[in-house]
Amino acid sequence: MKKLSISVITLVVASTLAWNFAALPIPDQWDKNEQSLINSLSLTNLPALPEDPSNAVANNPLAAALGHRLYFDTRLSSNNTVACASCHKPELMFADGLDLAVGISVGPRHTPSLIGLAYSPWLYWDGRKDSQWSQALAPLEASHEHGSDRVQLISLLMDDSTYKEMYERVFQSLPEDLDLPPSASPLGDAQQQAAWNSMSNAAQNSVSRIFSNMGKAIAAYERKIIPGPSKFDEYADMLSDNSSTRQNDLLSNSEIAGLKLFIGKAQCVNCHNSPLFTNNDFHNTGVLAVSGQLPPMGRYDGVRSARSDPFNCLGEFSDATPTQCTELRFARDENDLVGAQKTPTLRNITLTAPYMHGGQLNTLQQVIEHYNDAPTSMLSHNEAKPLGLRAVERRQLESFLRTLTAPLATAEKWLSPPEN
């Protein structure tokens, strides 16, 4: 009896293995469409960094050096412990490994990685900012993040001789005659707002101008954060290189099968496309709301916030002419954007767990199961449909996602605080 059950188990295991093996496509069996799709995902085809006409110093090395210093400086926070780098940690691919971000207090969202964001016309999960410099201003004044305010911040800049010198080499001279309260902001608590309202328009304008320049310097630094080629890119480049002797073992059979699913049956490539594996657009994928929160309105509210933001592309602190603000002027705002979040990059995805806008999913396996089930969205509708992937296919898809990890193509000096 005992013997029989063991051989039954052996039989089951053996037949499962044979069946799994049979499910694998043979490498190099890509058709023309698949080949060009794979090619379109390779970093070799990443275009040059797009210009940001709203930021005149986006490519200025002195601005990047100033931004680098600001990025790592905890003095930019109300309790001297929070910097951009506290949440966007270079060693974690500029994410933080937490479900929800922790600054001065716990915030409502998961910290996204900052890799390749210079390519993204919209920032934040809901896209409520339309440039990197404008985005960088928000955490500085958010009570749960840096918890500082623009008057405190520009006072720090004016009182610190290194900052003052670096700033004045990039922008105009800092004013000597500004009579400022110790703390004030139009976005602060009642006291900060009252102090702000007591300032003259000219003083308010000078403060906001210097503040916006801090954001422009930080954005110049952030443009350095770009991904480096991974095992997948090597494979994709090998496929499109017909002349050379092909090296067929760059990806395992399971990884290749996962790639086939990614661009085929699993439909991931519909949204996670181009060399950064994102279409930079907004979709409702039925992710459950963070516990204790209402389901978010997502991009529906985000596009409205971006339009009314005083630091947007059309605003007085932008360096762009209105005709250059195409994204903002022609942004969609239809009802189907309710509950939609920005498609994140999948580059280095193994290093940026947990996942989704609230860190709701802990592992890639859970993410894939989520897509496989495609649960009903609590608000509006889930754009993704159930996939019917078998267990082996789900594992293959995950093994493919693991081929997208690689060191950044960012010079080492930008990955830690400036030396002096």
Applying CB under 6 A, the site for ligand HEC has a residue count of 53
Q: Mask: binding to ligand HEC, 206-245, rule CB under 6 A, as x and -?
A: ------------x---------------------------
Which of 142, 137, 76, 70 has the alpha carbon at shortest distance from 105? 142
Q: Using CB under 6 A, which of 42, 55, 111, 318 touches ligand HEC?
A: 111
| Angle, CA of 110, 112 and 117, to the nearest 5° | 155
For position 152 contacting ligand HEC by CB under 6 A, the verdict is no
CB 316 within 8 A of CB 137: no
Using alpha carbons only, give the angle 51, 55, 56 rounded to the nearest 5 degrees.
Answer: 90
Cα 413 to Cα 56: distance, rounded to the nearest angstrom: 24
Distance, CA of 39 to CA of 33 (rounded, Å) = 10
Token pair belonging to 330:
């022609």
Which range of residues in 118-126, 157-165, 308-316, 406-414 is near ligand HEC by CB under 6 A? 118-126
Give the distance, in angstroms, between the CA of residue 7 and the centroid of all CA atoms in the same chain: 51
Between 327 and 383, CB nearer to ligand HEC: 383
Distance CA 290, CA 385 (A): 22
Which of 58, 64, 93, 136 contacts ligand HEC by CB under 6 A?
136
**By C-beta, is 138 or 203 nearer to ligand HEC?**
138
302 forms part of the interface with ligand HEC (CB under 6 A):
no
Q: x/- contact string, 20-59, with ligand HEC (CB under 6 A)?
A: ----------------------------------------
Q: Is 383 one of the binding residues for ligand HEC (CB under 6 A)?
A: yes
Omega prior to 354 cis, within 30 of 0: yes
Least distance CB 198 / ligand HEC (angstroms): 27
Dist. CA 284–CA 113, nearest whole Å: 20
Which positions lie near ligand HEC, rule CB under 6 A? 82, 84, 86-88, 101-103, 107, 109-112, 114, 117, 120, 123-125, 132, 135-136, 139-140, 145-146, 218, 266-268, 270-272, 283, 285, 287, 341-344, 346, 349, 352, 355-357, 364, 367-368, 371, 383-384, 397
